[in-house]
Amino acid sequence: MILFSTRARIVGSIPDAMTWAREIAGIVAKASGVTVEVAARVGGHSDVLWVARLDNMAALEKFIDQIQGSADYDAAVRAALAKGHFDPNSIEQALWRTV
Protein backbone atom coordinates (compact mmCIF):
# COMPACT_ATOMS: atom_id res chain seq x y z
CA MET A 1 0.00 0.00 0.00
CA ILE A 2 1.26 3.45 -0.97
CA LEU A 3 0.14 6.60 0.84
CA PHE A 4 0.44 9.88 -1.04
CA SER A 5 0.21 12.97 1.14
CA THR A 6 0.17 16.70 0.59
CA ARG A 7 0.56 19.13 3.48
CA ALA A 8 0.06 22.89 3.42
CA ARG A 9 0.13 25.60 6.08
CA ILE A 10 -2.95 27.80 6.32
CA VAL A 11 -2.16 31.53 6.37
CA GLY A 12 -5.56 32.91 5.37
CA SER A 13 -8.96 32.34 6.89
CA ILE A 14 -8.93 28.93 8.57
CA PRO A 15 -12.64 28.22 7.96
CA ASP A 16 -12.33 29.20 4.29
CA ALA A 17 -9.16 27.13 3.85
CA MET A 18 -10.75 24.07 5.47
CA THR A 19 -13.84 24.40 3.28
CA TRP A 20 -11.57 24.54 0.24
CA ALA A 21 -9.54 21.57 1.55
CA ARG A 22 -12.69 19.42 1.61
CA GLU A 23 -13.77 20.72 -1.80
CA ILE A 24 -10.44 19.88 -3.47
CA ALA A 25 -10.55 16.40 -1.95
CA GLY A 26 -13.90 15.93 -3.70
CA ILE A 27 -12.52 17.24 -6.99
CA VAL A 28 -9.58 14.83 -6.77
CA ALA A 29 -11.90 11.92 -5.95
CA LYS A 30 -14.12 12.76 -8.91
CA ALA A 31 -11.15 13.02 -11.29
CA SER A 32 -9.38 9.89 -10.07
CA GLY A 33 -11.90 7.62 -8.38
CA VAL A 34 -9.64 7.60 -5.30
CA THR A 35 -10.89 8.73 -1.89
CA VAL A 36 -8.82 11.51 -0.33
CA GLU A 37 -8.85 11.98 3.44
CA VAL A 38 -8.50 15.49 4.86
CA ALA A 39 -6.97 16.10 8.28
CA ALA A 40 -6.27 19.23 10.32
CA ARG A 41 -3.24 19.50 12.56
CA VAL A 42 -3.97 19.61 16.27
CA GLY A 43 -1.76 22.11 18.07
CA GLY A 44 1.09 24.04 16.54
CA HIS A 45 0.64 25.62 13.13
CA SER A 46 -2.62 25.47 11.23
CA ASP A 47 -1.74 22.78 8.71
CA VAL A 48 -4.01 20.68 6.55
CA LEU A 49 -3.11 17.26 5.21
CA TRP A 50 -4.59 15.32 2.29
CA VAL A 51 -3.92 11.57 2.09
CA ALA A 52 -4.74 9.13 -0.71
CA ARG A 53 -4.23 5.37 -0.33
CA LEU A 54 -3.17 3.48 -3.45
CA ASP A 55 -2.39 -0.17 -4.04
CA ASN A 56 1.00 0.30 -5.72
CA MET A 57 3.25 2.69 -7.63
CA ALA A 58 1.42 2.02 -10.91
CA ALA A 59 -1.83 3.13 -9.27
CA LEU A 60 -0.05 6.24 -7.95
CA GLU A 61 1.19 7.10 -11.43
CA LYS A 62 -2.34 6.76 -12.82
CA PHE A 63 -3.72 8.86 -9.94
CA ILE A 64 -1.25 11.68 -10.60
CA ASP A 65 -1.90 11.61 -14.35
CA GLN A 66 -5.65 11.87 -13.75
CA ILE A 67 -5.29 14.83 -11.40
CA GLN A 68 -2.82 16.67 -13.60
CA GLY A 69 -5.22 16.26 -16.52
CA SER A 70 -8.17 17.72 -14.61
CA ALA A 71 -9.14 21.28 -15.55
CA ASP A 72 -11.33 21.44 -12.42
CA TYR A 73 -8.35 20.58 -10.20
CA ASP A 74 -6.13 23.16 -11.90
CA ALA A 75 -8.77 25.88 -11.56
CA ALA A 76 -9.38 25.07 -7.89
CA VAL A 77 -5.67 25.17 -7.04
CA ARG A 78 -5.25 28.50 -8.85
CA ALA A 79 -8.24 29.91 -6.96
CA ALA A 80 -6.82 28.83 -3.59
CA LEU A 81 -3.47 30.42 -4.39
CA ALA A 82 -5.15 33.64 -5.56
CA LYS A 83 -7.19 33.79 -2.34
CA GLY A 84 -4.08 33.28 -0.21
CA HIS A 85 -5.44 30.30 1.75
CA PHE A 86 -2.01 28.65 2.08
CA ASP A 87 1.67 29.52 2.25
CA PRO A 88 2.94 28.26 -1.14
CA ASN A 89 6.40 27.66 0.36
CA SER A 90 4.95 25.25 2.94
CA ILE A 91 3.40 22.83 0.47
CA GLU A 92 5.03 19.42 0.77
CA GLN A 93 4.19 16.14 -0.88
CA ALA A 94 5.40 12.74 0.29
CA LEU A 95 5.13 9.07 -0.56
CA TRP A 96 4.77 6.52 2.22
CA ARG A 97 4.87 2.75 2.16
CA THR A 98 2.91 0.84 4.75
CA VAL A 99 4.90 -1.73 6.72
Is the pLDDT reported for residue 15 higher than 90? yes
Angle at Cα 45 formed by Cα 74 and Cα 23, nearest 5°? 30
Q: So where are the chain's domains?
A: 2-97
Is the pLDDT reported for residue 45 higher than 90? no
**Rounded to an integer, what distance in angstroms lies between the CA atom of residue 85 and that of residue 24?**
13
- CATH classification number, 2-97, choose in 3.30.70.100, 3.20.20.140, 3.40.50.1820, 3.90.190.20: 3.30.70.100
Is the pLDDT reported for residue 57 higher than 90? yes
Is the pLDDT reported for residue 84 higher than 90? yes
Tell me, what's the pLDDT at 43? 85
Tell me, what's the pLDDT at 37? 98
Please classify residue 10 by burial: count the beta carbons closer than 10 Å to its beta carbon, then call 0-12 exposed, 13-18 middle and 19+ buried: buried
